[in-house]
Amino acid sequence: MGSGAPENDSRPPFATFHQEISGPVVIIFEACIVTGGPDALQTGYEVLELGACRYYPVSQDVFCMRDELRRGSLPVVFLTVFIDLMGFGIVLPLLPIYADVFTVDPSGWRLGLLMASFSIMQLLFAPFWGRLSDRIGRRPVLIIGLVGSVLFYLLFGIATVMRSIELLFVSRIGAGMAGATIPTAQAYIADSTSLKKRPQGMALIGMAFGMGFTLGPLAGSLAVPGGRGEPGPWPGYAAAGLSAIALILAIWKLPESLRPDSRSAAPAGMRWREFQQALSVASVGLLLTAIFVCIFSFANFETTLSMLIKGSAETQASPFRFTWGQVCLTYAYIGFTMTLVQGMLVRRLAGRISEGKLAGWGAVSQVAGFAVALAAIQQSSAPLLMVALGVITGGAGLMQPSLNSLLSRRSDPDKQGAIMGVGQSVNALARILGSGLGIPMLRGALMLPYLTSMVLMSAALVLIILAARSGKDYSSDRSELRSETLAS
Protein backbone atom coordinates (compact mmCIF):
# COMPACT_ATOMS: atom_id res chain seq x y z
CA MET A 1 0.00 0.00 0.00
CA GLY A 2 1.43 3.41 -0.94
CA SER A 3 2.34 6.12 1.55
CA GLY A 4 -0.59 8.30 0.48
CA ALA A 5 -3.27 5.88 1.75
CA PRO A 6 -5.22 6.75 4.88
CA GLU A 7 -4.39 4.85 8.08
CA ASN A 8 -7.82 3.24 8.31
CA ASP A 9 -7.78 2.13 4.66
CA SER A 10 -9.58 -1.20 4.35
CA ARG A 11 -8.78 -1.89 0.72
CA PRO A 12 -7.60 -5.41 -0.10
CA PRO A 13 -4.10 -5.90 -1.51
CA PHE A 14 -3.96 -5.49 -5.28
CA ALA A 15 -3.62 -9.23 -5.92
CA THR A 16 -6.83 -9.93 -3.96
CA PHE A 17 -8.49 -6.88 -5.51
CA HIS A 18 -7.58 -8.18 -8.99
CA GLN A 19 -8.91 -11.67 -8.26
CA GLU A 20 -12.22 -10.39 -6.95
CA ILE A 21 -12.99 -8.60 -10.21
CA SER A 22 -13.37 -10.71 -13.33
CA GLY A 23 -15.26 -8.30 -15.59
CA PRO A 24 -15.24 -4.63 -16.48
CA VAL A 25 -15.39 -2.24 -13.54
CA VAL A 26 -15.78 1.42 -12.78
CA ILE A 27 -13.62 2.84 -10.01
CA ILE A 28 -14.88 6.10 -8.49
CA PHE A 29 -12.67 8.26 -6.33
CA GLU A 30 -12.23 11.92 -5.45
CA ALA A 31 -11.09 13.40 -8.75
CA CYS A 32 -11.28 10.67 -11.34
CA ILE A 33 -13.37 7.90 -12.81
CA VAL A 34 -11.55 4.92 -14.33
CA THR A 35 -13.33 2.07 -16.07
CA GLY A 36 -12.04 -1.09 -17.61
CA GLY A 37 -11.39 -4.78 -17.15
CA PRO A 38 -8.87 -6.51 -14.87
CA ASP A 39 -5.95 -5.59 -17.11
CA ALA A 40 -6.71 -1.92 -16.54
CA LEU A 41 -6.96 -2.19 -12.76
CA GLN A 42 -3.28 -1.58 -11.94
CA THR A 43 -3.48 2.05 -12.97
CA GLY A 44 -6.76 2.54 -11.16
CA TYR A 45 -5.47 0.85 -8.02
CA GLU A 46 -2.34 3.03 -7.96
CA VAL A 47 -4.46 6.16 -8.22
CA LEU A 48 -6.56 4.86 -5.33
CA GLU A 49 -3.67 5.69 -3.04
CA LEU A 50 -5.37 9.12 -2.94
CA GLY A 51 -8.06 7.82 -0.62
CA ALA A 52 -11.12 5.67 -0.15
CA CYS A 53 -13.06 4.50 -3.15
CA ARG A 54 -15.74 2.17 -4.43
CA TYR A 55 -15.77 -0.04 -7.51
CA TYR A 56 -18.72 -1.33 -9.50
CA PRO A 57 -19.04 -3.78 -12.42
CA VAL A 58 -19.93 -1.96 -15.66
CA SER A 59 -19.83 -2.62 -19.39
CA GLN A 60 -17.75 0.31 -20.68
CA ASP A 61 -14.31 0.87 -22.14
CA VAL A 62 -11.39 2.42 -20.32
CA PHE A 63 -11.54 6.16 -19.81
CA CYS A 64 -10.51 8.83 -17.32
CA MET A 65 -12.73 11.83 -16.75
CA ARG A 66 -11.71 14.44 -14.21
CA ASP A 67 -14.63 15.87 -12.33
CA GLU A 68 -12.65 18.94 -11.35
CA LEU A 69 -11.93 19.57 -15.07
CA ARG A 70 -15.62 19.41 -15.90
CA ARG A 71 -16.60 21.70 -13.05
CA GLY A 72 -14.05 24.47 -13.44
CA SER A 73 -12.56 24.51 -16.91
CA LEU A 74 -15.50 25.70 -19.02
CA PRO A 75 -15.96 29.06 -17.25
CA VAL A 76 -12.20 29.61 -17.43
CA VAL A 77 -11.93 28.84 -21.16
CA PHE A 78 -15.00 31.03 -21.76
CA LEU A 79 -13.45 33.96 -19.90
CA THR A 80 -10.12 33.41 -21.64
CA VAL A 81 -11.68 33.48 -25.13
CA PHE A 82 -14.07 36.32 -24.24
CA ILE A 83 -11.38 38.63 -22.84
CA ASP A 84 -9.10 37.99 -25.82
CA LEU A 85 -11.94 38.63 -28.31
CA MET A 86 -12.87 41.75 -26.41
CA GLY A 87 -9.38 43.04 -27.23
CA PHE A 88 -9.99 42.23 -30.90
CA GLY A 89 -13.31 44.11 -30.70
CA ILE A 90 -11.49 47.20 -29.45
CA VAL A 91 -9.15 47.30 -32.43
CA LEU A 92 -11.45 46.23 -35.31
CA PRO A 93 -13.53 49.43 -35.72
CA LEU A 94 -10.50 51.71 -35.64
CA LEU A 95 -7.98 49.77 -37.73
CA PRO A 96 -9.02 50.91 -41.23
CA ILE A 97 -9.31 54.52 -40.06
CA TYR A 98 -5.82 54.43 -38.54
CA ALA A 99 -4.42 52.88 -41.72
CA ASP A 100 -6.20 55.47 -43.88
CA VAL A 101 -4.47 58.23 -41.92
CA PHE A 102 -1.02 56.62 -42.03
CA THR A 103 -0.75 55.97 -45.77
CA VAL A 104 -1.74 57.42 -49.11
CA ASP A 105 -3.69 54.71 -50.92
CA PRO A 106 -6.19 56.14 -53.43
CA SER A 107 -7.05 52.71 -54.84
CA GLY A 108 -7.59 51.09 -51.43
CA TRP A 109 -5.80 47.86 -52.32
CA ARG A 110 -3.13 48.29 -49.65
CA LEU A 111 -5.76 48.85 -46.98
CA GLY A 112 -7.74 45.91 -48.30
CA LEU A 113 -4.71 43.65 -47.95
CA LEU A 114 -4.19 44.93 -44.40
CA MET A 115 -7.78 44.05 -43.48
CA ALA A 116 -7.54 40.62 -45.14
CA SER A 117 -4.17 39.73 -43.59
CA PHE A 118 -5.73 38.76 -40.24
CA SER A 119 -8.11 36.24 -41.83
CA ILE A 120 -5.39 34.89 -44.12
CA MET A 121 -3.19 34.11 -41.14
CA GLN A 122 -6.09 32.48 -39.31
CA LEU A 123 -6.78 30.23 -42.30
CA LEU A 124 -3.12 29.21 -42.54
CA PHE A 125 -2.36 28.76 -38.84
CA ALA A 126 -5.55 27.20 -37.46
CA PRO A 127 -4.53 23.71 -38.73
CA PHE A 128 -0.99 24.22 -37.40
CA TRP A 129 -2.14 25.15 -33.89
CA GLY A 130 -4.68 22.33 -33.93
CA ARG A 131 -2.09 19.70 -34.82
CA LEU A 132 0.34 21.13 -32.28
CA SER A 133 -2.32 20.96 -29.55
CA ASP A 134 -2.90 17.30 -30.45
CA ARG A 135 0.78 16.69 -29.65
CA ILE A 136 1.61 18.97 -26.69
CA GLY A 137 -1.82 19.69 -25.25
CA ARG A 138 -4.56 22.33 -25.56
CA ARG A 139 -3.41 24.45 -22.63
CA PRO A 140 0.11 25.28 -23.94
CA VAL A 141 -1.25 26.25 -27.36
CA LEU A 142 -3.93 28.52 -25.87
CA ILE A 143 -1.28 30.16 -23.69
CA ILE A 144 1.07 30.66 -26.67
CA GLY A 145 -1.78 32.30 -28.58
CA LEU A 146 -2.51 34.66 -25.69
CA VAL A 147 1.17 35.61 -25.39
CA GLY A 148 1.12 36.46 -29.09
CA SER A 149 -2.05 38.54 -28.66
CA VAL A 150 -0.43 40.57 -25.87
CA LEU A 151 2.69 41.26 -27.93
CA PHE A 152 0.99 42.11 -31.20
CA TYR A 153 -1.74 44.31 -29.69
CA LEU A 154 1.06 46.15 -27.89
CA LEU A 155 2.81 46.52 -31.26
CA PHE A 156 -0.45 47.88 -32.68
CA GLY A 157 -0.33 50.67 -30.08
CA ILE A 158 3.30 51.39 -30.92
CA ALA A 159 2.47 51.48 -34.64
CA THR A 160 -0.14 54.20 -34.02
CA VAL A 161 2.42 56.29 -32.13
CA MET A 162 4.93 55.92 -34.98
CA ARG A 163 2.14 56.29 -37.57
CA SER A 164 3.65 53.31 -39.41
CA ILE A 165 1.55 51.31 -41.86
CA GLU A 166 4.32 48.70 -41.98
CA LEU A 167 4.08 48.05 -38.24
CA LEU A 168 0.29 47.87 -38.57
CA PHE A 169 0.79 45.09 -41.10
CA VAL A 170 3.13 43.22 -38.75
CA SER A 171 0.71 43.64 -35.84
CA ARG A 172 -2.28 42.34 -37.81
CA ILE A 173 -0.38 39.41 -39.32
CA GLY A 174 0.90 38.46 -35.87
CA ALA A 175 -2.52 38.90 -34.26
CA GLY A 176 -4.04 36.66 -36.94
CA MET A 177 -1.46 33.96 -36.21
CA ALA A 178 -2.06 34.23 -32.46
CA GLY A 179 -5.84 34.38 -32.85
CA ALA A 180 -6.03 31.19 -34.91
CA THR A 181 -6.43 29.12 -31.73
CA ILE A 182 -10.26 29.22 -31.66
CA PRO A 183 -10.48 25.64 -33.06
CA THR A 184 -8.16 24.62 -30.21
CA ALA A 185 -10.53 26.25 -27.70
CA GLN A 186 -13.41 24.35 -29.31
CA ALA A 187 -11.40 21.12 -29.02
CA TYR A 188 -10.78 21.95 -25.34
CA ILE A 189 -14.54 22.14 -24.80
CA ALA A 190 -15.05 18.87 -26.69
CA ASP A 191 -12.43 17.26 -24.42
CA SER A 192 -14.12 18.60 -21.28
CA THR A 193 -17.78 17.84 -21.95
CA SER A 194 -19.94 14.78 -22.43
CA LEU A 195 -21.75 14.25 -25.72
CA LYS A 196 -24.98 15.41 -24.11
CA LYS A 197 -23.48 18.63 -22.75
CA ARG A 198 -21.25 19.45 -25.70
CA PRO A 199 -23.72 21.71 -27.58
CA GLN A 200 -24.07 23.89 -24.46
CA GLY A 201 -20.29 23.97 -24.15
CA MET A 202 -19.84 25.00 -27.77
CA ALA A 203 -22.45 27.70 -27.24
CA LEU A 204 -20.00 29.32 -24.82
CA ILE A 205 -17.66 30.07 -27.74
CA GLY A 206 -20.49 31.75 -29.65
CA MET A 207 -21.41 33.70 -26.53
CA ALA A 208 -17.77 34.76 -26.08
CA PHE A 209 -17.70 36.03 -29.67
CA GLY A 210 -20.92 37.99 -29.25
CA MET A 211 -19.96 39.55 -25.93
CA GLY A 212 -16.41 40.28 -27.11
CA PHE A 213 -17.62 42.08 -30.23
CA THR A 214 -20.16 44.02 -28.16
CA LEU A 215 -18.12 45.04 -25.12
CA GLY A 216 -14.85 45.42 -27.05
CA PRO A 217 -16.01 48.41 -29.12
CA LEU A 218 -17.59 49.86 -25.96
CA ALA A 219 -14.22 49.64 -24.23
CA GLY A 220 -12.65 51.15 -27.34
CA SER A 221 -14.97 54.15 -27.07
CA LEU A 222 -13.72 54.70 -23.51
CA ALA A 223 -10.15 54.81 -24.84
CA VAL A 224 -11.07 57.82 -26.99
CA PRO A 225 -10.72 61.09 -25.04
CA GLY A 226 -14.22 62.54 -24.77
CA GLY A 227 -15.24 60.40 -27.73
CA ARG A 228 -13.88 63.04 -30.10
CA GLY A 229 -10.13 63.28 -29.87
CA GLU A 230 -7.83 60.90 -31.73
CA PRO A 231 -7.49 57.72 -29.66
CA GLY A 232 -3.77 57.36 -30.29
CA PRO A 233 -2.22 54.14 -28.93
CA TRP A 234 -4.67 53.51 -26.10
CA PRO A 235 -7.01 51.07 -27.86
CA GLY A 236 -4.00 48.88 -28.73
CA TYR A 237 -2.67 49.09 -25.20
CA ALA A 238 -6.13 48.34 -23.76
CA ALA A 239 -6.43 45.26 -26.00
CA ALA A 240 -2.96 44.10 -24.92
CA GLY A 241 -3.94 44.59 -21.27
CA LEU A 242 -7.09 42.50 -21.67
CA SER A 243 -5.16 39.72 -23.40
CA ALA A 244 -2.63 39.85 -20.54
CA ILE A 245 -5.48 39.30 -18.06
CA ALA A 246 -6.69 36.33 -20.12
CA LEU A 247 -3.12 34.99 -20.22
CA ILE A 248 -2.76 35.15 -16.42
CA LEU A 249 -6.14 33.49 -16.03
CA ALA A 250 -5.12 30.66 -18.38
CA ILE A 251 -1.76 30.12 -16.67
CA TRP A 252 -3.23 29.92 -13.18
CA LYS A 253 -6.67 28.42 -13.68
CA LEU A 254 -6.80 26.46 -16.95
CA PRO A 255 -6.08 22.72 -16.56
CA GLU A 256 -5.01 20.50 -19.43
CA SER A 257 -7.87 18.74 -21.23
CA LEU A 258 -6.12 16.55 -23.80
CA ARG A 259 -6.84 12.83 -23.38
CA PRO A 260 -5.70 9.82 -25.41
CA ASP A 261 -9.17 9.58 -26.97
CA SER A 262 -9.53 13.31 -27.75
CA ARG A 263 -10.57 14.28 -31.25
CA SER A 264 -8.06 16.18 -33.36
CA ALA A 265 -8.24 19.96 -33.06
CA ALA A 266 -6.90 20.55 -36.58
CA PRO A 267 -9.61 21.90 -38.92
CA ALA A 268 -10.34 19.53 -41.75
CA GLY A 269 -9.46 22.11 -44.40
CA MET A 270 -10.31 21.71 -48.06
CA ARG A 271 -8.66 19.45 -50.60
CA TRP A 272 -9.74 19.09 -54.20
CA ARG A 273 -10.97 15.54 -53.61
CA GLU A 274 -13.04 16.65 -50.61
CA PHE A 275 -14.39 19.58 -52.60
CA GLN A 276 -15.51 17.17 -55.32
CA GLN A 277 -17.12 14.95 -52.66
CA ALA A 278 -19.05 17.91 -51.30
CA LEU A 279 -20.32 18.95 -54.73
CA SER A 280 -21.39 15.39 -55.49
CA VAL A 281 -24.13 15.66 -52.83
CA ALA A 282 -27.38 17.17 -54.06
CA SER A 283 -28.00 20.73 -52.77
CA VAL A 284 -24.66 20.93 -50.94
CA GLY A 285 -23.04 22.95 -53.73
CA LEU A 286 -25.91 25.44 -53.56
CA LEU A 287 -25.53 25.73 -49.79
CA LEU A 288 -21.76 26.23 -50.00
CA THR A 289 -22.27 29.01 -52.54
CA ALA A 290 -24.89 30.64 -50.30
CA ILE A 291 -22.51 30.43 -47.31
CA PHE A 292 -19.76 32.08 -49.37
CA VAL A 293 -22.06 34.92 -50.47
CA CYS A 294 -23.39 35.49 -46.95
CA ILE A 295 -19.93 35.68 -45.33
CA PHE A 296 -18.45 37.72 -48.20
CA SER A 297 -21.24 40.30 -48.02
CA PHE A 298 -21.06 40.70 -44.24
CA ALA A 299 -17.22 40.92 -44.23
CA ASN A 300 -17.46 43.50 -47.02
CA PHE A 301 -19.97 45.51 -45.00
CA GLU A 302 -18.12 45.18 -41.67
CA THR A 303 -14.74 46.19 -43.12
CA THR A 304 -15.92 49.31 -44.95
CA LEU A 305 -18.43 50.61 -42.39
CA SER A 306 -15.97 52.49 -40.18
CA MET A 307 -14.50 54.36 -43.15
CA LEU A 308 -18.00 55.17 -44.44
CA ILE A 309 -19.27 56.66 -41.19
CA LYS A 310 -16.00 58.36 -40.14
CA GLY A 311 -15.41 59.92 -43.54
CA SER A 312 -12.07 61.06 -44.94
CA ALA A 313 -10.58 62.92 -47.85
CA GLU A 314 -9.97 59.59 -49.63
CA THR A 315 -13.54 58.33 -49.11
CA GLN A 316 -15.46 60.04 -51.88
CA ALA A 317 -18.38 62.23 -50.82
CA SER A 318 -19.07 60.42 -47.54
CA PRO A 319 -22.08 62.18 -45.99
CA PHE A 320 -21.21 61.08 -42.46
CA ARG A 321 -18.68 62.48 -39.99
CA PHE A 322 -18.95 60.27 -36.91
CA THR A 323 -16.53 60.88 -34.05
CA TRP A 324 -14.07 58.15 -33.06
CA GLY A 325 -16.24 57.32 -30.06
CA GLN A 326 -19.38 57.09 -32.20
CA VAL A 327 -17.62 54.68 -34.57
CA CYS A 328 -16.88 52.37 -31.63
CA LEU A 329 -20.44 52.63 -30.33
CA THR A 330 -21.80 51.75 -33.78
CA TYR A 331 -19.81 48.52 -33.80
CA ALA A 332 -20.99 47.76 -30.25
CA TYR A 333 -24.56 48.13 -31.52
CA ILE A 334 -23.81 45.63 -34.30
CA GLY A 335 -22.29 43.16 -31.84
CA PHE A 336 -25.24 43.49 -29.46
CA THR A 337 -27.73 42.92 -32.29
CA MET A 338 -25.88 39.82 -33.49
CA THR A 339 -25.75 38.42 -29.94
CA LEU A 340 -29.44 39.09 -29.39
CA VAL A 341 -30.50 37.42 -32.64
CA GLN A 342 -28.27 34.35 -32.36
CA GLY A 343 -28.52 33.97 -28.59
CA MET A 344 -32.28 34.37 -28.29
CA LEU A 345 -34.20 34.44 -31.57
CA VAL A 346 -32.40 31.61 -33.40
CA ARG A 347 -32.47 29.34 -30.36
CA ARG A 348 -36.19 29.87 -29.88
CA LEU A 349 -37.03 29.31 -33.54
CA ALA A 350 -34.65 26.38 -34.19
CA GLY A 351 -36.65 23.17 -34.32
CA ARG A 352 -39.94 25.01 -34.83
CA ILE A 353 -39.06 26.51 -38.21
CA SER A 354 -36.91 24.80 -40.81
CA GLU A 355 -33.35 26.00 -41.37
CA GLY A 356 -34.19 26.75 -45.00
CA LYS A 357 -36.92 29.19 -44.00
CA LEU A 358 -34.75 30.84 -41.32
CA ALA A 359 -31.90 31.27 -43.80
CA GLY A 360 -34.33 32.63 -46.41
CA TRP A 361 -35.72 35.17 -43.96
CA GLY A 362 -32.16 36.17 -43.12
CA ALA A 363 -31.35 36.71 -46.80
CA VAL A 364 -34.50 38.81 -47.30
CA SER A 365 -33.60 40.90 -44.25
CA GLN A 366 -30.11 41.56 -45.59
CA VAL A 367 -31.37 42.55 -49.03
CA ALA A 368 -33.78 44.98 -47.39
CA GLY A 369 -31.08 46.23 -45.02
CA PHE A 370 -28.61 46.99 -47.79
CA ALA A 371 -31.35 48.78 -49.73
CA VAL A 372 -32.10 50.95 -46.68
CA ALA A 373 -28.36 51.59 -46.24
CA LEU A 374 -28.12 52.86 -49.82
CA ALA A 375 -31.08 55.17 -49.15
CA ALA A 376 -29.43 56.39 -45.93
CA ILE A 377 -26.24 57.27 -47.81
CA GLN A 378 -28.19 59.12 -50.50
CA GLN A 379 -30.20 61.05 -47.88
CA SER A 380 -27.24 61.59 -45.51
CA SER A 381 -29.40 60.16 -42.73
CA ALA A 382 -27.55 58.67 -39.75
CA PRO A 383 -30.77 57.43 -38.02
CA LEU A 384 -31.82 55.62 -41.19
CA LEU A 385 -28.35 54.10 -41.42
CA MET A 386 -28.70 52.76 -37.86
CA VAL A 387 -31.95 51.06 -38.86
CA ALA A 388 -30.21 49.53 -41.87
CA LEU A 389 -27.33 48.24 -39.74
CA GLY A 390 -29.73 46.52 -37.35
CA VAL A 391 -31.64 44.85 -40.20
CA ILE A 392 -28.45 43.70 -41.97
CA THR A 393 -26.92 42.32 -38.77
CA GLY A 394 -30.15 40.61 -37.74
CA GLY A 395 -30.40 38.96 -41.15
CA ALA A 396 -26.81 37.71 -40.94
CA GLY A 397 -27.51 36.40 -37.44
CA LEU A 398 -30.42 34.35 -38.78
CA MET A 399 -28.71 33.20 -41.95
CA GLN A 400 -25.25 32.05 -40.91
CA PRO A 401 -26.08 29.40 -38.26
CA SER A 402 -29.11 28.20 -40.23
CA LEU A 403 -27.02 27.56 -43.36
CA ASN A 404 -24.39 25.68 -41.35
CA SER A 405 -27.06 23.54 -39.71
CA LEU A 406 -28.76 22.83 -43.04
CA LEU A 407 -25.40 21.88 -44.55
CA SER A 408 -24.87 19.32 -41.77
CA ARG A 409 -28.34 17.84 -42.35
CA ARG A 410 -27.76 17.46 -46.09
CA SER A 411 -24.38 15.75 -45.61
CA ASP A 412 -23.95 12.00 -45.81
CA PRO A 413 -22.72 10.87 -42.35
CA ASP A 414 -19.84 9.03 -44.04
CA LYS A 415 -18.76 12.32 -45.69
CA GLN A 416 -19.68 14.62 -42.81
CA GLY A 417 -16.15 15.61 -41.82
CA ALA A 418 -15.06 16.34 -45.37
CA ILE A 419 -18.14 18.41 -46.21
CA MET A 420 -18.07 20.44 -43.00
CA GLY A 421 -14.34 21.01 -43.51
CA VAL A 422 -15.05 22.34 -46.99
CA GLY A 423 -17.73 24.59 -45.45
CA GLN A 424 -15.18 26.02 -42.99
CA SER A 425 -12.71 26.68 -45.78
CA VAL A 426 -15.37 28.37 -47.92
CA ASN A 427 -16.25 30.52 -44.90
CA ALA A 428 -12.62 31.54 -44.40
CA LEU A 429 -12.07 32.27 -48.11
CA ALA A 430 -15.19 34.45 -48.23
CA ARG A 431 -14.03 36.40 -45.18
CA ILE A 432 -10.64 37.02 -46.78
CA LEU A 433 -12.07 38.19 -50.10
CA GLY A 434 -14.83 40.25 -48.49
CA SER A 435 -12.33 42.03 -46.25
CA GLY A 436 -9.82 42.52 -49.05
CA LEU A 437 -12.16 43.80 -51.75
CA GLY A 438 -14.47 46.00 -49.68
CA ILE A 439 -12.21 49.04 -49.29
CA PRO A 440 -11.11 49.14 -52.97
CA MET A 441 -14.81 49.06 -53.94
CA LEU A 442 -15.55 51.86 -51.46
CA ARG A 443 -12.77 53.94 -52.96
CA GLY A 444 -14.13 53.32 -56.44
CA ALA A 445 -17.68 54.39 -55.58
CA LEU A 446 -19.15 55.09 -52.16
CA MET A 447 -22.21 52.87 -52.55
CA LEU A 448 -20.57 50.07 -54.56
CA PRO A 449 -19.83 47.70 -51.63
CA TYR A 450 -23.43 47.82 -50.38
CA LEU A 451 -24.97 47.65 -53.85
CA THR A 452 -22.79 44.61 -54.57
CA SER A 453 -23.83 42.98 -51.31
CA MET A 454 -27.51 43.61 -52.01
CA VAL A 455 -27.25 41.95 -55.44
CA LEU A 456 -25.27 39.01 -54.04
CA MET A 457 -27.75 38.47 -51.20
CA SER A 458 -30.59 38.45 -53.73
CA ALA A 459 -28.77 35.66 -55.55
CA ALA A 460 -28.19 33.90 -52.22
CA LEU A 461 -31.94 33.94 -51.56
CA VAL A 462 -32.53 32.10 -54.84
CA LEU A 463 -29.80 29.58 -53.95
CA ILE A 464 -31.35 28.94 -50.53
CA ILE A 465 -34.79 28.36 -52.02
CA LEU A 466 -33.36 25.90 -54.56
CA ALA A 467 -31.28 24.12 -51.91
CA ALA A 468 -34.24 23.80 -49.55
CA ARG A 469 -36.40 22.27 -52.27
CA SER A 470 -33.75 19.92 -53.64
CA GLY A 471 -31.70 17.22 -51.97
CA LYS A 472 -32.73 15.43 -48.82
CA ASP A 473 -31.96 15.20 -45.12
CA TYR A 474 -30.19 12.06 -44.01
CA SER A 475 -32.27 10.02 -41.60
CA SER A 476 -29.53 9.30 -39.09
CA ASP A 477 -29.76 10.98 -35.73
CA ARG A 478 -28.25 14.42 -36.16
CA SER A 479 -29.76 16.26 -33.23
CA GLU A 480 -26.51 16.79 -31.41
CA LEU A 481 -24.64 17.95 -34.51
CA ARG A 482 -27.44 20.35 -35.46
CA SER A 483 -27.47 21.85 -31.97
CA GLU A 484 -23.71 22.16 -31.91
CA THR A 485 -23.65 23.82 -35.34
CA LEU A 486 -26.31 26.36 -34.34
CA ALA A 487 -24.42 27.05 -31.11
CA SER A 488 -21.29 27.96 -33.02
Is the pLDDT at 13 greater than 90? The verdict is no
Do both 140 and 71 map to the same domain? yes
What is d(CA 330, CA 343) in angstroms, rounded to the nearest whole number?
A: 20
Whole-number pLDDT of residue 438: 92
Task: Work out the average pLDDT over 164-180.
Answer: 91
Do both 260 and 313 map to the same domain? no
Do both 190 and 318 map to the same domain? no
In contact, 360 and 403? CB cutoff 8 Å: no
Do both 116 and 256 map to the same domain? yes
Do both 80 and 12 map to the same domain? no
Question: pTM to 2 decimals?
Answer: 0.74
In contact, 69 and 192? CB cutoff 8 Å: yes
Do both 329 and 399 map to the same domain? yes
Tell me the residue range of the domain where 11 lies.
1-64
Percent of the chain with pLDDT over 70: 70
Whole-number pLDDT of residue 172: 92
Task: Work out the average pLDDT over 372-399.
Answer: 94
Task: Work out the average pLDDT over 353-379.
Answer: 94
Whole-number pLDDT of residue 461: 94
Do both 275 and 424 map to the same domain? yes
Per-residue pLDDT band at 167 (split at 50, 70, 90): very high
The count of structural domains within the chain is 3
Is the pLDDT at 405 greater than 60? The verdict is yes
Do both 32 and 80 map to the same domain? no
Task: Pick the last residue of a domain from 250, 267, 284.
Answer: 267
DSSP H or E run through 54: strand 54-57
For residue 404, what is the domain's CATH number?
1.20.1250.20
In contact, 109 and 236? CB cutoff 8 Å: no
In order, the DSSP letters of 341-367 are IIIIIHHHHBTTB-HHHHHHHHHHHHH
Is the pLDDT at 296 greater than 60? The verdict is yes
Is the pLDDT at 360 greater than 50? The verdict is yes
Task: Pick the last residue of a domain from 64, 91, 119.
Answer: 64
Do both 368 and 220 map to the same domain? no
Task: Pick the last residue of a domain from 228, 244, 267.
Answer: 267
Task: Work out the average pLDDT over 154-170.
Answer: 92
Task: Work out the average pLDDT over 192-208.
Answer: 70
∠ CA 256-259-263, nearest 5°, is 110
What is d(CA 308, CA 317) in angstroms, rounded to the nearest whole number?
A: 10
pLDDT one-digit tens code per residue, 303-359: 999 989 987 656 557 788 888 888 989 999 999 998 888 878 887 887 788 888 999
Do both 87 and 58 map to the same domain? no
Do both 41 and 156 map to the same domain? no
Do both 253 and 370 map to the same domain? no
Work out the mean pLDDT of the chain and round it to a whole number. 77
pLDDT one-digit tens code per residue, 25-75: 444 333 333 444 444 444 443 333 333 344 333 333 333 444 444 445 778
